[in-house]
Amino acid sequence: MLSNEKYKGDALLQKTYTVDFLSKKRVVNKGEVPRYFVEESHPPIIDKEIWEAVQLEMERRRAFAEKHQIQKIDYATDQQPFAGRVICGNCGRAYGRKVWNSTDERNRRVVWRCNNKYLAKGEKGCDSKHIDDKALYQAFVDIFNALVGNRDQLTPKWQRLIEEDDILKRIYAKRFLAIFSTAQPIEKFDFALYFKLVEKITVKDEGILVVTLHEGTEIECEIK
């Protein structure tokens, strides 16, 4: 549905064709007969720029998942916002969520560990360290508040991005300008803001996280 050109007011004719006029059987046209693209054939449902941005975003997500060996980037949910988005700074693989259980509930911990840490049982792979779940939540709070505090310096950058040819960056820049025009510091993790702003979190050595925003800005913070 997201790839259907009809939503932007265009039409691709003869996507399918009839192979048997008696049974009226139709099959997908893979080049057997000509196809015709008609621009502005009907009123659009969404803006063309938005439609084009969706195509680019789907391709970005596919490339991201392939690069970091993730089955899909959309694993992240409100319950697990970091799934598929925490990346190892050593080997480039994604981090996976692990629960360290204990007979004492107070000692139960949720951590994230590189999926390349143990390639097979008993075999050690990547030597990166795990990171506590709570540290990731706090990192976003700190980063967001830093952005709020520095919005006057960042606003000119976002305004310049609006003039660029890159449709995705234009869309993200407009989003960032809208968010930070009225944003105030936060005290706890905000799921909606996180998904709107953050592309990935890279775990570096020496307790450093690099948070990459959708429009390309990278911000370092120390793990607390």
Q: How many residues does the chain have?
A: 224
Q: How far apart are CA 19 and CA 95, in angstroms?
A: 49
Give the pLDDT of residue 43. Answer: 65
Q: What are 193's two structure tokens?
A: 């803001």
3-state secondary structure of 6: helix
Q: What does the pLDDT read at residue 5?
A: 61
Confidence (pTM): 0.77
Residue 23 has a pLDDT of 76
Place of tokens 């520095």: 150
Query: What is the model's pLDDT at position 93?
Result: 93
Q: What is the pLDDT of residue 86?
A: 94
In which region does residue 219 sit, left (phi positive, over 0), alpha (psi from -120 to 50) or beta (all else)?
beta
SS (H, E, C) 181-207: CCCCCCCCCCHHHHHHHEEEEEEECCC
Which residues, given as ranges, of the chain have pLDDT below 50? none
Residue 208 · residue 220 · CB < 8 Å: yes
CA distance 4 to 43: 14
pLDDT attached to residue 3: 66
Give the 3-state secondary structure of 77-129.
Answer: CCCCCCCCCEEECCCCCEEEEEEECCCCHHHCEEEEEECCCEEECCEECCCCC
Q: Helix, strand or coil for residue 168? A: helix
